[in-house]
A and B are shown apart, each in its own frame.
Chain A
Amino acid sequence: MTRKLLTGNSAAAWGARLAGVDYVPAFPITPQTEIIEDLSLWIDSGEMAARMVTLESEHSMITAAGSAATSGVRVFTATSSQGLLYGMEMVYTVAGWRAPFVMINVSRGLSSPITLESDHNDIMAARDSGFLQIHCASCQEITDSVLMAYRLAEHKDVRLPAIVNQDGFYLSFTREPVDLPDAEKAARFVGVFDPENLQFKSGAPLSQAMAVLGGGPYSYFRYEAHLALQRVLSVYDEIADEFADIFGRRYDIIESYKMDDAEYVFVMMGSYATKARDAVDSLCNAGWKVGLARVRVFRPFPKEKIRQLLSGRRAVAVIDQNLSMGMGGVLHSELATALYGMKDGPAVLASYIGGLGGRDISQQEFFEMIDELKQASDIGQILEPRLLYTKNELTEIRNLQAIAQAEHSEIHNK
């Protein structure tokens, strides 16, 4: 095992290298590009035996990823934000092909307004596609999750593509120490890709992804994919245990932090959870009973695990780094669905939208959320969803608007 300082992007590239991928269809987009730069260097210098091809768009890239995976090779690809959305038709399509491969998404807010910084609306758009989703909070977790994702995606009971998500800038460009798994051990853990029936060859006629007529066959194939995705929940622990045995790191479907006697719980996803960890530490030191549940596997949604973890808690703050326009936070809605009908579920399930477009969530804000949770659960109040946004930020945008207004007036009064 080698310890290296790696950015999230390099950690992702290492994951692909250690998984022994055969094929890398690629397309550059900020903040993901470093991944394909690393891979191309290794491939060109002979350090990695794979073939890389740069397509002319993400739509084509995901098509090629899917068609290569259905032709029997191990495929890795990566994208971000607008690229993921540009390829969205094919995200849904290749999941329907039951093409097992791994794609990194480096989360970045969606246009418009156009931004380079991080939030989860891009990955949420892929929520219903049939891809597995693993959300990472550290660079170490990225390398490890890529390896685990191949096992899950290629599992004979699953056979679906997987997205490993990391946050742009916060992970993609942040160097952290990463214990790189030993190459041989990693190869043994991931194993050889058995394409089974996924291959085109002469003398074995095969049609894939063909049309159906009518809702009967269509429903059948769609529901089959849904069931296959849900089977990740039953095979996950075995694979996570095996990973832990070999590499000494155990990743739960939901990461629990100081949850044992927690009355108040933050639920969130991605690297911002590390900010919540700090707040949980401070609050616990101050005598509060606060914990953190970080949803790592978001698809399939670990409904039972969520119910177990949140049973008996006083109040929960769900922090969504996304905004479903006209509704609110996606994770909050999913938790409400998962907890519905539970007798000893938390009385308060508050929704906070924070971290849009890379906006920070301050320690003070975490403390205030817990204050609100306590007050609301003390008096049995229902909390309205809130955007984490300060007066200062509002003043700043008002100042920018004043400048824009002044410019506008100047032009028109000339």
Chain B
Amino acid sequence: MIKESVVHIHRMKDMPSSHLLGTGTPMCAGCGGLEALHNMYDILGEKTVFVNAAGCLTLLSVYPFTPFRGGWLYTSMASAPAGAQGVRDAMDIRLQKKQITEEDNMEVVVVTGDGSAYGMGLSATSGAMDRNLDFIYLCYDNEGYGNTGQQYSAATPHAALTSTSKTSHGYPGFKKDLFAIWAAHNPTYVATIIGAEPLDLAKKIEKLRTMKGPRMLIALAPCPTGWDYDPKLSVEIGRLAVQTGVWPLKEYIDGEVIHTKIPKKDKSGKRTPVEEYLKLQGRFSHLFHPQRDERGIAEIQARIDAYWDKVSD
């Protein structure tokens, strides 16, 4: 059993050495969502109830098996935060009536994909934040409706090929800024994380554990099947997402946004070019084959540069 409270994570050495989540789940090899969940669960501990919305991770618990040590409740695609509301309120009522003790109390954690978080479930999420619900929300964001075969969603990045944007231009829209939408509700905590940066992730989970109220997490979830790459590249792609500045690691507390890991620049003042990230993924292959799409790549790079230009080091 993992210790209930892990304190002071400064280095990789301080991280839990064994996983709490059971093995043998039907998730794809290299699933970035599962990786983020693993890392989070190890630190949260087993006193957790997961409330799930329709998505890939729904298949973690298939009767009669579950990889969780605590509770699990599948709700629907749109209403996992409302499910969390009922569980939290019921536990509070039972604590108040002394039907259960503080020892029995559990942290309520919503787990949904981006399809639910960015779209169908946004209203329920907004409502939960309005009501200052004491819960944690983990969105594993693989940038498309992954469980149905990677159709584009509001989380899909510009130019990505998906099963509903198959032609050479890819997805014409732009990834929605869910971090900003969530932060606009002024919840207790909002952060972006990624499984490939476990120390940054662990520090954030450790921090939010001590807080009350809505604590919101978006984990970029590299997805071998949806993004079309070899599963062994998941960690590398995840690291590149951070190094190239595609996925800014940041947190929002008390009205302020703080970047927790600023991508390094070389001597000439340049970050790792975004094409290092793009070229490993089949969903961006049309930017490189049959010929290089200089304009397309430059446009994507320019948007990343514009983002970081506004961030002070």
Contacts and interface: CB of A to CB of B under 8 A. Distances in A.
Interface in A197-220: 199-203, 205-213, 217
B68 A57 contact: no
B76 interface: yes
A53 B51 CA distance: 19
Nearest to A211: B62
A174 interface: no
A90 B71 contact: no
Contact of B74 (A25, A69, A209, A217): A209
Interface string B88-107: 01111110010110011110
B66 A67 contact: no
A250 B105 CA distance: 43
A260 to B, nearest CB: 48
A210 B104 contact: no
A67 B47 contact: no
Nearest to A57: B123
A123 interface: no
B90 A60 contact: no
Given A60-B124, A64-B82, A68-B90, A200 B49 contact: yes
Interface in B278-312: none
Which secondary structure dominates where chain A touches chain B?
A: mixed
Nearest to B99: A72
A402 B193 CA distance: 64
Interface string A47-61: 000010101110111
A70 B89 CA distance: 12
A205 B75 CA distance: 18
A359 B301 CA distance: 65
Contact of B61 (A67, A70, A211): A211
B51 to A, nearest CB: 7
Contact of B86 (A66, A93, A211, A217): A66
A230 interface: no
B56 to A, nearest CB: 12
B22 to A, nearest CB: 11
Contacts of A25: 85-86
Contacts of A208: 71-74
Interface stretch (B125-133, B205-213, B214-222): B125-133
Nearest to B96: A51
A60 B104 CA distance: 26
B123 A56 contact: yes
A23 interface: yes
A63 B62 contact: no
Contacts of A70: 73, 86-87
Nearest to B102: A202
A71 B92 CA distance: 10
A201 B104 CA distance: 5
Contacts of B100: 199, 201
A202 B103 contact: yes
A60 B93 contact: no
Interface residues of A, number: 41
A211 B74 contact: yes
Contacts of A217: 63
Interface in A27-60: 51, 53, 55-57, 59-60
Contacts of A60: 78-79, 81-82, 85, 123-124, 127
B124 A23 contact: no
Interface string A1-40: 0000000000000000000001101000000000000000
A199 B106 CA distance: 11
Nearest to B123: A56
A68 B89 contact: yes
A210 B85 contact: no
Interface string B50-70: 010000001101110010111
B70 A65 contact: no
A73 interface: yes
Interface in A175-232: 199-203, 205-213, 217
Of the candidates B79, B86, B97, the one having the most CB atoms from chain A within 10 angstroms of its own CB is B86
Given A51-B93, A64-B82, A207 B61 contact: yes
Contacts of B93: 22-23, 51, 73
Select the residue from B90, B91, B126, B127 with max chain A CB neighbours within 10 A.
B90
A199 B246 CA distance: 42
A63 B75 contact: yes
B66 A64 contact: no
Given A67-B84, A207-B68, A213 B106 contact: no
A103 to B, nearest CB: 13
A34 to B, nearest CB: 23
A101 to B, nearest CB: 10
B115 interface: no
B46 interface: yes
Contacts of B81: 60
B195 interface: no
B124 A210 contact: no
Contacts of B71: 200, 205-208
A55 B82 contact: yes
B76 A93 contact: yes
A23 B96 CA distance: 13
Contacts of B106: 200-202
Contact of B79 (A22, A59, A210, A213): A59
B113 interface: no
A252 interface: no
Nearest to B78: A59
B83 interface: yes
A89 interface: yes
B49 to A, nearest CB: 5
A63 B104 contact: no
11 contacts: A25-B85, A55-B85, A60-B82, A67-B85, A70-B73, A71-B90, A200-B73, A202-B103, A205-B68, A205-B69, A210-B61
Given A73-B94, A93-B76, A207-B72, 6 more contacts: A56-B130, A63-B85, A64-B85, A67-B51, A69-B86, A203-B103
Q: Which 7 A-B pairs have the closest CB atoms?
A: A67-B86, A56-B127, A60-B82, A71-B90, A68-B86, A64-B86, A201-B104
